[in-house]
């Protein structure tokens, strides 16, 4: 028995060593290719991870708009519309008024999920950013890859959302494409800053509770989501002005039903959202690299 065992062990070692020829990384690894597609490889890894939860992502993506549209859009909408508030809403039904805001916030939500949790995972829970950084992948690649993966998920989420909005008659087909882009841009603006902020988090003590209560919730309430920003007291309107959600919502409304806006206001929305992306990227690149090198 013992000699048979010894043999088996011997054989398994032999086999594992001889079944292929060792080429060596100088022959095997195409450095230029690894570098050029580095961000894509990070995105690929992130999407592989995401696919473990695709069921929940799809269910949430579909369930969220349906629930909102029934309860708030149609339920509260009936109340609002019967009170003759159309003039304050730019002459449209409450459902039409609400739709661009819901779409922009769904985009923000999707980006938020994909830019905060993976960063906590990468630095604290799993430490897999350090594993990535031991390969040709750099901190900048990780930022770009995470954002690309977040974008991929948001494209699906916003796509589903728009489908539901169309089905409810909350938007029209001709504005679907520009609204799609403005919603994605809004999410990307928020997400790139969220990612940058999360790279600064050193300990996992209630960070997400703080973000949820003190950033997401007030942003939802004070960004002209459920009523026009102008109907809020003036001293609270500043929350809307800095909030990417308000800029995205106002942009979406302009596209959807042409709520009277001057051209420069529309342009300032695009510029403001683009500015968030560039600030997020700048800070994110810097802090990510710094933390990986520590």
Partner 1 sequence: MIVARGLRKVYGDFVAVDGIDFEVRKGEAFGLLGPNGAGKSTTMKMIASVSKRTGGELTILGLDPNKRGPEIRAHLGVVPQQDNLDRELKVHENLFAYGRFFGLSRKFLKTKVEELLEFAQLTEKRNAKAEELSGGMKRRLTIARGLVNEPEILMLDEPTTGLDPQARHILWDRLFRLKEQGVTLVITTHYMDEAEQLCDRLIVMDKGKIMAEGSPADLIKRFASKEVLEVRFGSSKNIEIAEQIFHLGHRTEVLPDRILIYSENGEEDLQAILKLGLEPVTSLVRRSSLEDVFLRLTGRTLVE
Q: Which residues bind partner 1 (CB under 8 A)?
A: 12-13, 15-17, 19-20, 22-26, 28-31, 33-35, 37-38, 41-42, 44-45, 48-49, 52, 125-128, 130-138, 292-294
Do 110 and 1 meet the contact criterion of CB atoms below 8 Å apart?
Answer: no
Report the residue number, 132 or 239, with the smaller CB distance to partner 1.
132
Report the residue number, 16 or 87, with the smaller CB distance to partner 1.
16
Q: Where are the alpha helices (DSSP H) in the chain?
A: 2-18, 25-28, 31-36, 38-50, 54-68, 77-82, 94-120, 128-132, 139-167, 176-199, 207-211, 217-221, 237-242, 244-257, 263-293
Do 282 and 140 meet the contact criterion of CB atoms below 8 Å apart?
Answer: no
Report the residue number, 204 or 230, with the smaller CB distance to partner 1.
204
Report the residue number, 136 or 228, with the smaller CB distance to partner 1.
136
- Shortest distance, position 37 Cβ to partner 1, whole Å: 6
Q: Which two tokens stand for residue 143?
A: 């930022």
- Shortest distance, position 209 Cβ to partner 1, whole Å: 23
- Shortest distance, position 173 Cβ to partner 1, whole Å: 39
**Sequence-separated (6 or more) residues with CB below 8 Å from residue 190:** 108, 111, 112, 244, 245, 276
Report the residue number, 126 or 172, with the smaller CB distance to partner 1.
126
* H/E run at residue 200: none
- The radius of gyration computed from the CA coordinates of the chain, to the nearest angstrom, equals 24
Report the residue number, 1 or 17, with the smaller CB distance to partner 1.
17
- The separation between CA 272 and the C-alpha centre of its own chain, rounded to angstroms, equals 18
**In this structure, how many other beta carbons lie within 10 angstroms of the beta carbon of residue 148?**
17
- Compute the distance between CA of residue 254 and CA of residue 198 in angstroms, rounded to an integer: 32
Do 196 and 283 meet the contact criterion of CB atoms below 8 Å apart?
Answer: yes
- Shortest distance, position 202 Cβ to partner 1, whole Å: 16
- Shortest distance, position 155 Cβ to partner 1, whole Å: 22
- Shortest distance, position 166 Cβ to partner 1, whole Å: 35
Report the residue number, 119 or 184, with the smaller CB distance to partner 1.
119
- Shortest distance, position 277 Cβ to partner 1, whole Å: 24
Do 136 and 40 meet the contact criterion of CB atoms below 8 Å apart?
Answer: no
């Amino acid at each position: 028995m013992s000699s048979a065992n010894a043999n088996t062990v011997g054989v398994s070692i032999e086999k594992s060593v001889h079944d292929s020829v060792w080429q060596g990384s100088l022959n095997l690894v195409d450095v230029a290719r690894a570098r050029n597609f580095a961000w894509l490889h990070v995105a690929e890894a992130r999407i592989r991870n995401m696919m473990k939860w695709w069921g929940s992502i799809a269910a949430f993506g579909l369930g969220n708009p349906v629930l909102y549209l029934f309860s708030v859009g149609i339920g509260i909408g009936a109340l609002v519309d019967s009170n003759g508030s159309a003039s304050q809403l730019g002459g449209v039904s409450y459902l039409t008024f609400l739709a661009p805001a819901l779409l922009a916030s769904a985009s923000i939500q999707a980006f938020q999920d994909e830019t905060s949790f993976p960063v906590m995972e990468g630095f604290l829970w799993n430490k897999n950013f350090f594993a990535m950084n031991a390969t040709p992948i750099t901190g900048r690649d990780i930022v770009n890859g995470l954002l690309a993966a977040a974008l991929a998920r948001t494209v699906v989420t916003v796509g589903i959302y728009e489908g539901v909005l169309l089905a409810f008659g909350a938007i029209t087909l001709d504005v679907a494409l520009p609204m799609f882009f403005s919603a994605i841009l809004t999410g990307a603006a928020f997400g790139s800053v969220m990612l940058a902020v999360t790279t600064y988090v050193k300990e996992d003590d209630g960070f997400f509770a703080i973000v949820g209560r003190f950033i997401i919730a007030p942003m939802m309430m004070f960004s002209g989501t459920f009523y026009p920003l102008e109907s809020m007291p003036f001293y609270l309107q500043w929350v809307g002005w800095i909030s990417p959600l308000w800029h995205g919502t106002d942009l979406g409304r302009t596209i959807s039903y042409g709520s009277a806006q001057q051209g420069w206001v529309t342009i300032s929305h695009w510029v403001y959202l683009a500015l968030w992306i560039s600030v997020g990227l700048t800070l994110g690149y810097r802090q990510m690299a710094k933390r990986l090198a520590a």
